[in-house]
Amino acid sequence: MASQNPIAPSPAAGIYGGSVFANVVQAPEDPILGVTVAYNKDPSPVKVNLGVGAYRTEEGKPLVLNVVRRAEQLLVNDPSRVKEYLPITGLADFNKLSAKLIFGADSPAIQENRVATVQCLSGTGSLRVGGEFLARHYHERTIYIPQPTWGNHPKVFTLAGLSVKTYRYYDPTTRGLNFEGLLADLSAAPPGAIVLLHACAHNPTGVDPTLDQWEQIRLLMRSKGLLPFFDSAYQGFASGNLDADAQSVRMFVADGGECLTAQSYAKNMGLYGERVGALSIVCKSADVATRVESQLKLVIRPMYSNPPIHGASIVATILKDRELYHEWTIELKAMADRIINMRQQLFDALRARGTPGDWSHIIKQIGMFTFTGLNTEQVTFMTKEYHIYMTSDGRISMAGLSSKTVPHLVDAIHAAVTRMK
Ligand SMILES: Cc1ncc(COP(=O)(O)O)c(C=O)c1O
């Protein structure tokens, strides 16, 4: 009798000995992260990567903040620290301090225990957990996102179970805010719809509403019962001041209404790969916040069980120590200032070169990115001829630029706009 083979291939393994995954098609590269993949493959010594949304020093190197190194040293030297699982909601200290950072230390919402905060996997994870919570527990499943926005937003919210629509945000002719379009589109949204707002340093445009415009947006949204979901990926990184960059969020919390906020420590503490962030849901009462938190646990537990401990411990160590906190604000301001300085250098160099066009948007826009106005053909040309890498929408990361690379970029932009109108 023939013995039965206990590890016989599954029937689907392919009659011809091929892979059971033979029908899996090659997926396209991520439009943002794919820029770095292409950059890495380019052997040119003059190549510049302006696609990646990560801070670089004047020497083009990634930066670990000194204050982060100090906090890590304190953690390593503390023998009472263990590697046990965190609770589903993360590190309690980290959550409290994160809420204080975004809403302000004297926020009534915090004092009245109306905020449910959970530690999540950086900004992206916070958006995803918030999105899934809304899809399960909120009556309106449509989320309005700005046009344009960070490329991951539509995917995150669609997969969270929400239906994604856009509102007008950017006006290419003025390279500024399309405020009328924004108000018109939000006015036409169904009552109760969710609205994704970039707290500051809008990505990819670098265009933010003024405080006066924020106030008008707030009045309109509150009058229509639209639910604000803030994405705060750049607090302190835009202006160099943590409180100034949180003003939009604080205006909405000050009126006593409800909102969600996704925070990331990737940029402002340089903790990109540590994946540290927080989702806060501001509720009307402490009782509602407690129930909301209980449901957030049910979203998180089957998703990744509980968040990682190391990055959150670094953040908590810095935020709770007066001296470390102060050191952080100084290092943060230095990063923001270098970016602002790069804007000025690029603008001055284009002017000096006589490159056709009004480049004043470079110094008017805020945060990590400049939305140059270069079209896809011009971007392709600059990559092919000058080895300058950026997303196809013409967005460049100012943080990836240095005094040394500005002249090369100016040569490329000049050639692109004069040769390829
Ligand atoms: C607008 C915006 N939101 C969220 C994120 C999320 O970043 P992370 O998940 O690394 O915190 C980014 C990162 O580039 C961003 O630009």
124 lines ligand 1 (CB under 6 A): yes
Q: Is 80 a member of any domain?
A: no
Is 331 found in the same domain as 402? Answer: yes
- Residue 190: inside a domain: yes
pLDDT > 80? residue 1: no
pLDDT at residue 15 in the model:
57
Q: Which two tokens stand for residue 368?
A: 């990590």
Ligand 1 center to 110 CA (angstroms): 25
Report the CATH number at residue 271: 3.40.640.10
Same domain membership, residue 154 and residue 277: yes
Residue 184 lies in a domain: yes
Domain count, the chain: 2
196 belongs to a structural domain: yes
Do both 301 and 388 map to the same domain?
no
pLDDT at 14 over 60: no
Q: Are residues 98 and 218 in the same domain?
A: yes
pLDDT tens digit string along 199-229?
999 999 999 999 999 999 999 999 999 999 9
The CA 107 to ligand 1 mean position distance, Å, reads 25
> Is there a single domain that holds both residue 290 and residue 332?
no
**Distance from residue 87's CA to the centre of ligand 1 (Å):** 24
Which residue's alpha carbon is at the smallest distance from atom 14 of ligand 1? 53
Q: Is 122 in the pocket of ligand 1 (CB under 6 A)?
A: yes
* pLDDT tens per residue across span 83-118: 999 999 999 999 999 999 999 999 999 999 999 999
Going from the Cα of 339 to the center of ligand 1, the distance in angstroms, rounded, reads 18
Band of pLDDT at residue 8, cut at 50, 70 and 90: low
Q: 147 with 261, same domain?
A: yes
State whether 340 and 273 are in the same domain: no
Residues 125 and 208 in one domain: yes
Whether residue 415 sits in one domain with residue 335: yes
Q: In angstroms, rounded to a whole number, what is the distance separating the alpha carbons of residues 142 and 97?
A: 31
pTM: 0.93
Instruction: Please state, rounded to an integer, the average pLDDT across all residues of the chain.
Output: 94
Burial of 371 (0-12, 13-18, 19+ CB in 10 A): buried
Atom of ligand 1 nearest to the CA of 203: 1
Domain boundary among 320, 348, 379: 320
Residue with CA closest to ligand 1 atom 15: 233
Cβ 307 under 6 angstroms from ligand 1: no
Among 290, 320, 350, identify where a domain stops: 320
Residue nearest atom 3 of ligand 1, based on CA coordinates: 233
CA distance 98 to 80: 23
In a domain, 105, yes or no: yes
What pLDDT sits at residue 28?
A: 87
Q: Whose CA is nearest to atom 12 of ligand 1?
A: 233
- What residues are labeled active site? 150, 231, 267
408 within some domain: yes
Domain end among 285, 320, 355:
320
Å from CA of 18 to ligand 1 middle: 40
pLDDT, tens only, 58-89: 998 999 999 999 999 999 999 999 999 999 99
Q: What is the pLDDT of residues 328-368, one digit of tens each?
A: 999 999 999 999 999 999 999 999 999 999 999 999 999 99
How many whole angstroms from 417 Cα to the centroid of ligand 1? 30
Residue 279 has pLDDT above 90, yes or no: yes
Residue in the structure block whose two tokens are 């000025």: 344
CATH number at residue 368: 3.90.1150.10
Report whether residue 157 contacts ligand 1, using a CB cutoff of 6 Å: no
What's the confidence (pLDDT) of residue 3? 46
Q: Which of 152, 234, 249, 261 is the best mutation target for the ligand 1 pocket, counting ligand atoms within 8 Å of the beta carbon and taking the most?
A: 152
- Report pLDDT digits (tens) over 366-399: 999 999 999 999 999 999 999 999 999 999 999 9
Whether residue 7 lies inside any domain: the answer is no
Both 34 and 113 in a single domain?
no
221, 77 contact by CB (below 8 A): no
Residue 139 near residue 182 (C-beta atoms within 8 A): no
The whole-number pLDDT of residue 5 equals 59
% of the chain beyond a pLDDT of 70: 96
| Residue 77 covered by a domain | no
Which atom of ligand 1 lies nearest, measured to the CA of 277? 11
The alpha carbon torsion through 228, 234, 235, 238 (nearest 10 deg) reads -120
Ligand 1 proximity of 263 Cβ (cutoff 6 Å): no
Give the confidence band of 171 by pLDDT, cuts at 50, 70, 90.
very high
DSSP notation for 131-193: HHHHHHH-S--EEEEEES--THHHHHHHHHTPEEEEEE-EETTTTEE-HHHHHHHHHTSPTT-
Instruction: Say yes or no: CB of residue 264 within 6 Å of ligand 1.
Output: yes
Nearest atom, ligand 1, residue 121 CA: 9
Based on the fold, state whether residues 89 and 213 are members of the same structural domain.
Answer: yes
Among residues 244, 230, 331, 238, which one has the least CA distance to residue 277? Answer: 230
Residues 6+ away with beta carbon under 8 Å from 137:
292, 295
Residue 322 identity: R
Whether residue 384 sits in one domain with residue 244: no
Could you give the C-alpha distances from 282 to 247, 252, 262, in angstroms and in order?
A: 16, 10, 11
Ligand 1: which of 50, 128, 149, 264 to mutate, most ligand atoms within 8 Å of CB?
A: 264
Query: In angstroms, what is the span from residue 234 Cα to ligand 1's centroid?
Result: 8
Domain encompassing residue 53: 30-64+327-419
